[in-house]
Amino acid sequence: MPPEVRRAFLIVACLVVVAAVAWASLFDATPPADFSLQNGSDPKTIDPARATGNIESRIIFALFEGLLTMMPEGDPDPVTGLQPMSPQPGVAESYEISNDGRTYTFHLRENATWTDGTPVTSHDFAWSWQRMLHPETACEYTFQLYAVPFAEQYASGLVEVGDRVEVELWDRPLDTPTESSQQNFPRGTMLYGTLREIVKPPEPELADDLGDEERENAMLDWQQQWVYRVDVAKEDSDGNVLWDGEVQSQTFTVDLDSAAADENTQRCHAVMVAFGKLGSLETPDDRTFVVHLKDAVPYFPNLAAYYPLFAVNRKCVETYGSPLWTKAENIVTNGPFKLGFRRLRDRLRLVKNEDYHAVNPNGFDTVDFLSMEGQNTALNMYETGQIQWVTDPPTALLEELKTRDDFITAPQLSVYFYRLNVARKPLDDPRIRRAIAKAINRVQIVEQVTKSGQIPAYTNVPPGLALYESAVGINPDIEEAKQLLAEAGYPGGRGIPKMTLLYNTSEGHRAIAEVIQQQLLNNLNVKIELQNMEWGSFLDKTQQKDYDIARAGWIADYPDPNTFLDMWVTDGPQNSTNWSNKEYDQLIADSARESDPVKRMKLLQRAEQIWVDEMPVIPIYFYTSINMVKPNVKGFFPTAQDLHPLHLLEYRK
């Protein structure tokens, strides 16, 4: 190595060491927060419309507030120890429901403000809900608003001739502050009118051996060449569309190279149903928000208290774009805490919002969410007083830990399961799926691995929901499993392809996966390869359906069996299994329109039975919540959805 190169190398190395020491010193110099908790992996996002999972939701519930908020009500149940929670006034100080249950009128409080000092208004919710539904936002919870007229059609991006539509022209603001910002909602100029014609170029001829992804992309490219003829209407000074007034016929397409386009065709981002102009959501004034539903939804107040329906600050999103609007220096929120700072792979700090309308004067001024997956590390920090709440205690020590007073466990409305990609062989055969499900010994898992009172799950819906009786569950039986495997063409497991089981990094998930791996090898001679990924990559892979088997869990969004069932409808954003059943979809749709509670539960039960019989997902166990919280923390109770409002917690005096 030449001397000058050696010298340059030494200089660079020294600079790296100095930078590393400075970075470490910066961490060490950070004073501890008043309260710290183990939060698992780094959150993938803190955008309410983009988040999914406990890791994100704990933070979002502290930063934002919805029309309603889930709060404790009454005393804990003397038998289960569960603290009842119910949707109570949040940004909305009150609301009324129409006699037919299909119209909600929310009255927003005067003292609800954003952290930039501006008031939270009804327009913020109308805009945020439309943003949440927009296909480019890629929200996984759009189905929660499908009871709102035109919401499902808007989220799907599909239109038909005769629809009243919106056309987004190709003039969005430039991404700011950098072109890497995915600025998907602020939008360009919007035109409104009635769709009169869709001109489609010849459909592409696709080879029979084309893969699913290539086929899907080819069809998407073809759809982008469609040309839409729209009778564009004028708007009045208040932004109301004059649908029946004077119109001008114009043509639009996403791809100007389309064979169906001509010199007068304008480029657009999309032609979609005009959701925001059709009266589904009304904002008669800044403090009144009216929501219309197609059918009465008994749990709608719970949805209004769930984070996907929280409002975000429009000015903030439009100024910085997504995802840059969620950076600590940019974000504007309206909850009990503000975002102080975020350090990747370290922590996210929240600071008490003194302007919050229900600020707790005795609550914590600062709270740290530590990015910590190691169970033993978390327990060591807990024992030494560095953190006050452990959300994932070491599996190997549970027998010892659960005898302690600071170990808090209770039944939970949630299920641990494995998704199966039914588009991949051999999982495209329901006999294979049922064979795997029948060969898993769930009792061994809950007694020897999880060891905290979890209940073996043979159906999808947990017990304890009023009026609901679960479907007949999968019956574990190794001999029947072997017979199913033989009927599918793999006697004794011979010739069956090796499958990969994907799980996000966690000692607990790994332990369960290893047991199931061994059970399937011993019982069926089915070989499973294990693969772990950090949280963000794991979510990407499952959402892209790039897996064979993937671990997952679901905590009830609201106390109703529908929250466990409607996620499996065809192409549902939470489905991610490629499973589809028309009868199942119809039963879920029929249950949404059924006003008789008993009949509604029967429809849901029939849907669950189809799910069990076809087994696109293998239920493993129903959770119990497991937490360790310092005894001097006041206000922490186990709840059925494992919700713990941080602003209510404080230290005992």
Q: Residue 193 and residue 199: Cα distance in Å, rounded?
A: 17
Cβ proximity of 39 and 370 under 8 Å: yes
The per-residue pLDDT for 115 is 98
Sign of CA dihedral 580, 583, 585, 588: negative
Give me the helix-helix angle, 507-524 and 430-438, nearest 10°. 110
Residue holding tokens 């927003």?
Answer: 108
Q: What dihedral angle (degrees, nearest 10) is formed by the CA atoms of 635, 639, 643, 647?
A: -10
Euclidean distance between CA atoms 585 and 606, whole angstroms: 11
Secondary structure of residue 547 in the 3-state scheme: coil
DSSP 652: -
Q: What is the per-residue pLDDT for 27? A: 47
Residue 513 has pLDDT above 50, yes or no: yes
At a CB cut-off of 8 Å and minimum separation 6, what does 35 contact? 364, 366, 367, 368, 388, 389, 633, 646, 649
Q: What is the pLDDT of residue 496?
A: 96
Q: Tell me what the mean pLDDT of segment 371-378 comes to.
A: 93
8-state DSSP, 404? S
pLDDT at 187 (0 to 100): 79
**Residues 6 or more apart from 631 whose CB is under 8 A from it?**
405, 406
Buried b (16+ CB within 10 A) or exposed e, 48-57: bbbbbbebbb
Closest of 72, 41, 156 to residue 535, by C-alpha: 41
SS3 track for 438-470? HCCCHHHHHHHHHCCCCEECCCCCCCCCCCCCC
Residues contacting 638, CB < 8 A, separation 6+:
76, 81, 82, 83, 408, 409, 410, 412, 625, 627
Average pLDDT score over residue span 179-192: 71
Rounded CA-CA distance 504/533 in Å is 5
Q: What are the structural domains, with CATH classification, of the chain? A: 104-312 (3.90.76.10), 411-624 (3.10.105.10)
Q: For residues 358 and 116, what is the distance between their CA atoms, to the nearest angstrom?
A: 17
Contacts of 157 (CB under 8 A, 6+ apart): 135, 270, 272
Per-residue pLDDT tens digits for 333-354 = 999 999 999 999 999 999 999 9
Rounded to whole angstroms, the Cα distance separating 356 from 647 reads 10
Mean pLDDT, range 269-283, rounded to an integer: 96
DSSP codes, 233-251: EPB-TTS-B-TTS-EEEEE
Residues 608 and 565: beta-carbon distance below 8 Å: yes
Bigger pLDDT: 116 vs 2 = 116
The confidence score (pLDDT) of residue 28 equals 52
Mean pLDDT of 444-451: 94
Confidence tier at 606 by pLDDT (50, 70, 90): very high
Q: Please give the C-alpha separations between residue 467 and each of 463, 488, 602, 641, in angstroms, as whole numbers.
A: 11, 38, 9, 19
For 403-425, write each residue's pLDDT tens digit.
999 999 999 999 999 999 999 99
Of 250, 194, 204, whose CA–CA distance to 227 is shortest?
A: 250
Separation of alpha carbons 57 and 646, rounded Å? 12
Query: Mean pLDDT throughout 624-628?
Result: 94
Strands (E) in 234-316, as ranges, are 247-253, 266-273, 281-285, 288-292
Could you tell me what percent of the chain has a pLDDT over 90?
82
The reported pLDDT for the residue numbered 284 is: 97
Cα 286 to its chain centre, rounded Å, is 29
Distance CA 616, CA 27 (A): 46
Distance, CA of 335 to CA of 250 (rounded, Å): 45
399 has pLDDT over 70: yes
3-state secondary structure of 623: strand
Average pLDDT (572-590) is: 95
For the segment 170-185, what is each residue's pLDDT rounded down to a tens digit? 888 754 444 444 566 7
pLDDT over 70 for what percent of the chain?
Answer: 94
Give pLDDT, residue 6. 47
**Residues 543/508, Cβ–Cβ less than 8 Å:** no
Q: How many helices (H) and strands (E) does the chain have?
A: 17, 24
Query: Which SS3 state, helix, strand or coil, does residue 622 take?
Result: strand
- Lookup result for tokens 């309410």: 48
Q: Copy the structure tokens of residue 416.
A: 């641990």
How many angstroms separate the CA atoms of 93 and 126, rounded? 17
Residue 18's pLDDT band, with cuts at 50, 70 and 90, is: very low
* DSSP 8-state class, residue 145: G
- Backbone φ and ψ for 197, nearest 5 degrees, come out as -160, 145
Query: According to the model, what pLDDT value does residue 590 have?
Result: 94
3-state secondary structure (DSSP) of residue 339: strand
Where do the H-state alpha helices sit in 422-547?
430-438, 442-445, 478-487, 507-524, 535-543
**Token duo for residue 268:** 């657009």
Residue 23: pLDDT band by 50, 70, 90 thresholds?
very low
Q: 49-63, pLDDT tens digit by residue? A: 999 989 999 999 999
Query: What is residue 172's predicted lDDT score, i.e. its pLDDT?
Result: 81
8 Å CB contact between 353 and 359: yes
C-alpha 316/C-alpha 338 separation (Å) is: 14
3-state secondary structure of 263: coil
Which token pair is 58? 């704990």
Written as six digits, the tokens of 433 are 């799926």
CA distance 212 to 424: 10
Two structure tokens written together for 564 = 């466990």
Give residue 368's identity as a one-letter amino acid code: D
Q: Which residues pair with 528 in a beta bridge?
A: 499
pLDDT reported for residue 217: 85
pLDDT tens-place string over residues 211-237: 777 888 888 899 999 999 999 999 999
For the chain, the helix, strand and coil percentages under 3-state DSSP, each to the nearest 5: 30, 25, 45
